[in-house]
Amino acid sequence: MMRWKISVDKNACLGSAVCVAIAPDRFALDERQRSGPVQTEIDPDEMVRDAAASCPSEAISLVDTDTGRPVDLDQ
Amino acid sequence: MTVGSNPVKFTPALPGQPVPEIRTISGDRPVFLAELPDGRIVWLVSGYQNVRQMIIDQRFSRALAVAPGQARQGFEMFAGGSINGMDPPEHTRLRKLVASAFTSRRVEALRPRVAGIVNELIDAMLDRPPPADLAAGFSLPLPARVICEMLGVPAEDTGQFHAWSDTILGDWQRDSGEIMTALVELYSYFGRLIEIKRAQPADDLMSALIAARDDADRLSEEELTVMCCTLLIGGHETTANEINLSLLLLFDHPGEAAKLRADPGLIPGAVEELLRYTRLGNLVPARVTREDVQIGGVTIPAGEQVIPLFVTANRDPSVFSDPDRFDVTRDAANHLSFGAGVHHCLGAQLARVELQEAFRGLIGRLPGLRLAVPASELEFKPGMAIHSLRELPVLWDQP
């Protein structure tokens, strides 16, 4: 069963909260208004793919834990 | 004033007027029912945390606010068909098609080109003795040329599409027939451009969107047309007026302007403070509650119109100390002028680069830049949802 690993580059994050709005169960803002994953490893979730593809600072990366390759965001 | 469940009369402040003391108007309630000048009864949400919570929370719907049956006035007549008036998943499907063109990385690559346009426009101003109208000669053509190049729209059409855009960005006072005419003309203009691009694709965003439609069926022809209009209007009108309003603020605070002249490294931070402090518009479009929602200590019932008061977020003393002080050296990066959540301004990063390069150029190359007329003589265009100066006559010191 494929799993995705989510990471957010806090230095790149602008606090736009686009990801939090698209996938409120998957991302949360810290006290500095920077995003982070609620859980770092998840089952594939299209909302998370959408959130990563919509990030204005490309701060969200998704990796397929089986292959270690980035998940294709353009689907 | 009686404070209860009766709506409080609320009139947004005009440009140049002091920001209304919301707490006094509302009887110290952060979320309250208000009657707007157009007669609408809406909930107004104030304070940084409440505004932020509201605009991120998808239970506050833009799609319901522009749905058939809602009285659509001014800009809302356009927003109804655009991503501005949609919720996920439709909103996400369309925004994803263009999001990659506006990321920090892609926009940073455009910075040299933006700086080049800034220099060309300042060269043209320097060719003639002052005074000059900075609004027409700089603030408008800078973002207009940038978004035209990105989209693949002829920049020489700026005068024409800017006139339509001014009308479409109307407030509730604008005649709806005028707005409809401008919309039809702008849609037909893009209809023709799209056919030209379809026959002769180029390396631009319009061609990429046409390919997404024709090759992958990821959006309809109407969605394609409206997306192009949205990018063109959103891409030039807001930045043009933000440049003007920011300059007015800097003219009014010569000490802060002098800091930027002395240390241009302060400009990126100053742009955040300018965005925080200026008021591009007063009331953003409403959201409508999908269900009962608790916010700021009250429960807003389902089906009610709700408007966030961004000015109260950007001037919230719990987030920005001494918030009414304009200070180019403060850390203002968490302002909400670009919104947040799914409708966070798509062009925020582009606007930042444009504003940074604009002020770098103006401050660096036009010493002594100042108003050529008393500020009280400046006029704002009536009937617009954003504060748009008719002209910005300026002088500078000639070498």
B162 sits in which H/E element:
helix B158-168
Q: Is B281 helix (H, G, I), strand (E, B) or coil?
A: strand
Going by C-beta distance under 8 Å and a sequence separation of 6 or more, which residues neighbour residue B396? B130, B366, B367, B368, B369, B370
Residues in chain A with CB shorter than 8 Å from the CB of B94 are none
pLDDT, greater one: B282 or B289: B289
Q: Is a pLDDT exceeding 90 seen at residue B237?
A: yes
**Lookup result for tokens 């402040």:** B13
Q: Is a pLDDT exceeding 80 seen at residue B18?
A: no
Which tokens hold the place of B279?
């008021």
Residues in chain B with CB shorter than 8 Å from the CB of A32 are 334
Q: Does B99 touch chain A (CB under 8 A)?
A: yes
Percent of chain B with pLDDT over 90: 84
Q: Do B300 and B306 form a contact (C-beta atoms < 8 A)?
A: yes
Q: Quote the longest CA-to-CA distance of chain B.
A: 65
pLDDT of residue B177: 93
Q: Does B335 touch chain A (CB under 8 A)?
A: no
The arithmetic mean of pLDDT across residues B178-206, rounded, is 96
- Which of B59, B96, B331 is best to mutate for the A interface (most A CBs within 10 A)? B96
Residues in chain B with CB shorter than 8 Å from the CB of A17 are 52, 56, 340-341, 344
Which tokens hold the place of B220?
């309809």
The domain limits of chain B are 8-395
CA distances from B229 to A36, A67, B151, B217, B334 (A): 34, 42, 10, 19, 29
Give the C-alpha separation, B201 to B305, whole Å.
43
* Residue B1 confidence class, pLDDT cut points 50, 70, 90: very low
Q: Is a pLDDT exceeding 50 seen at residue B35?
A: yes
Residues in chain A with CB shorter than 8 Å from the CB of B56 are 17, 20-21, 24
The arithmetic mean of pLDDT across residues B369-379, rounded, is 96
pLDDT of residue B143: 97
pLDDT of residue A41: 97
Q: Is a pLDDT exceeding 90 seen at residue B316?
A: yes
The arithmetic mean of pLDDT across residues B133-157, rounded, is 97
Give the C-alpha separation, B278 to B19, whole Å.
10
Residues in chain B with CB shorter than 8 Å from the CB of A53 are 96, 99-100
* Residue B103 to residue A57, Cβ atoms within 8 A: yes
Q: Do B135 and B391 form a contact (C-beta atoms < 8 A)?
A: yes
Residue B170 phi/psi, 5° resolution? Answer: -75, 160
The whole-chain average pLDDT of chain A stands at 95
Span of A1-15, B66-80, B129-143 with lowest mean pLDDT:
B66-80
Give the C-alpha separation, B301 to B332, whole Å.
34
Residues 4-63 of A with CB under 8 A from B: 12, 14-18, 20-22, 24, 32-33, 50, 53-58
Domain B8-395 has CATH 3.40.1110.10: no
* Residue A17 to residue B56, Cβ atoms within 8 A: yes
The whole-chain average pLDDT of chain B stands at 93
Q: How many angstroms separate the CA of residue B50 from the nearest CA in chain A? A: 14
pLDDT of residue B274: 98
Give the C-alpha separation, B370 to A33, whole Å.
37
Q: Is a pLDDT exceeding 70 seen at residue B321?
A: yes
Q: How many angstroms separate the CA of residue B341 from the nearest CA in chain A? A: 4
Q: Does B102 touch chain A (CB under 8 A)?
A: yes
Going by C-beta distance under 8 Å and a sequence separation of 6 or more, which residues neighbour residue B22? B44, B46, B309, B312
Q: Is a pLDDT exceeding 60 seen at residue B163?
A: yes
pLDDT of residue B16: 67
Q: How many angstroms separate the CA of residue B344 from the nearest CA in chain A? A: 6
pLDDT of residue A60: 97
Which ipTM value was assigned to this complex?
0.94
The whole-model pTM stands at: 0.95
- Which of B56, B108, B271 is best to mutate for the A interface (most A CBs within 10 A)? B56
List the B305-308 sheet strands across, edge first: B8-9, B31-35, B41-45, B305-308, B287-289, B60-61
CA nearest neighbour of B46 among B336, B296, B325: B296
Q: Is a pLDDT exceeding 60 seen at residue A71?
A: yes
Going by C-beta distance under 8 Å and a sequence separation of 6 or more, which residues neighbour residue B62? B79, B84, B85, B86, B87, B91, B285, B287, B343
Give the C-alpha separation, B122 to B119, whole Å.
5
Residues 342-361 of B with CB under 8 A from A: 342, 344, 346, 348-349
Q: Is a pLDDT exceeding 90 seen at residue B314?
A: yes
* Class level of CATH domain A4-64: alpha beta
Q: Is a pLDDT exceeding 80 seen at residue B106?
A: yes
* Residue B167 confidence class, pLDDT cut points 50, 70, 90: very high
The domain limits of chain A are 4-64
Q: Is a pLDDT exceeding 70 seen at residue B29?
A: yes
Q: Is a pLDDT exceeding 80 seen at residue B399?
A: no
Q: Is a pLDDT exceeding 60 seen at residue B4?
A: no
CA nearest neighbour of A38 among A55, A25, A54, A23: A25
pLDDT, greater one: B6 or B380: B380
- Residue B337: closest C-alpha in chain A: A16
CA nearest neighbour of B102 among B338, B351, B333, B355: B351
Q: How many angstroms separate the CA of residue A33 from the nearest CA in chain B? A: 8
Q: Is a pLDDT exceeding 70 seen at residue B2?
A: no
What's the sign of the alpha-carbon dihedral B314, B62, B57, A16?
negative
